[in-house]
Amino acid sequence: MLLHDSVAVSGVRRTSDGYLVAEARVARTGIQDYLGSELGKPEIPIISVYRPPEAVFAEDAMRSYAYRPMTNDHHGDVNSDNWKELAVGQTGAEVLRDGDFVRIPLVLMDADAIRDYEAGKRELSMGLEAEVFFEDGVTPQGEKYQARLGSMRMNHLALVDRARGGEHLRIGDNKQPTPTGGHDMADALRKLLVDGLTIEVTEQGAQAIEKLNGKLADAATATKALSDAHATAIALKDGELAKKDATIDDLKAKLLSDADIDKRVTARADLISKAKSIADADYTGKTDADIRKAVVIAKLGDAAVAGKSSDYVDARFEILVEDAAKDPVRQHFQAQDGKQKNPNDNGQSAYEARLNDAWKGETK
Q: Would you give per-residue pLDDT tens digits along the chain (364 residues)?
A: 556 555 555 578 899 999 999 888 878 899 888 888 888 888 988 899 999 999 999 999 999 999 999 999 988 889 999 999 999 999 999 999 989 888 889 999 999 999 998 888 888 777 888 889 999 999 999 999 999 999 889 899 888 877 533 333 322 233 333 333 333 333 345 556 666 666 666 655 666 777 787 888 889 899 999 989 999 999 888 888 988 888 888 787 777 678 888 888 899 899 899 898 898 889 898 999 999 999 999 989 998 889 999 999 999 999 998 888 876 665 555 555 544 555 555 566 776 777 777 666 655 5
pLDDT value at residue 330 = 58
Name the strand (E) or helix (H) holding 326. Answer: helix 310-326
Task: Report the chain's C-alpha Rg in angstroms.
Answer: 54
Within 8 A by CB and 6+ apart from 50, the residues are 30, 31, 137, 139, 143, 145, 147, 148, 149
* Of 150, 151, 132, nearest in space to 64 by CA: 151
pLDDT of residue 234: 92
What is the distance between the terminal CA atoms of the chain, rounded to a whole angstrom? 148
- Count of beta carbons in the 10 Å neighbourhood of residue 65: 25
What pLDDT was estimated at residue 325? Answer: 80
How far is 84 from 255, CA to CA, in rounded Å? 96
Q: Please state, in angstroms and as integers, the Cα–Cα distance from residue 246 to each residue in 12, 23, 37, 251, 257, following that order.
A: 89, 88, 59, 9, 20
pLDDT of the residue at 89: 96
363 by DSSP, 3-state: which? coil
User: What HEC string does 259-288 produce?
Assistant: HHHHHHHHHHHHHHHHHHHHCCCCCCCCCH
What DSSP assignment string belongs to 13-58? EE-TTS-EEEEEEEEE-EEEEEEGGGGT-TTSSEEEEEE-HHHHT-
Q: Are 203 and 38 in contact (CB under 8 A)?
A: no
For residue 172, the model assigns a pLDDT of 27
Taking residue 47's Cβ as centre, other Cβ atoms within 10 Å add up to 19
- Say how far residue 57 (Cα) sits from the centre of its chain: 50
Distance CA 27, CA 171 (A): 8
Amino acid 82: pLDDT: 95
**Beta strands 101-108; 96-98: pairing state:** antiparallel
Q: What is the DSSP letter of 176?
A: P
3-class SS at 188?
Answer: helix
CB distance 277 to 324 below 8 Å: yes
What is the Cα–Cα distance from 176 to 158, expressed in whole angstroms?
A: 19
CA pair distance 94, 66, nearest whole angstrom: 7
C-alpha 1/C-alpha 18 separation (Å) is 36
CA distance 71 to 231: 57
pTM score over 0.85: no
Are 61 and 151 spatial neighbours (Cβ–Cβ below 8 Å)? Answer: yes
DSSP tally for the chain: helices H, then strands E = 11, 12
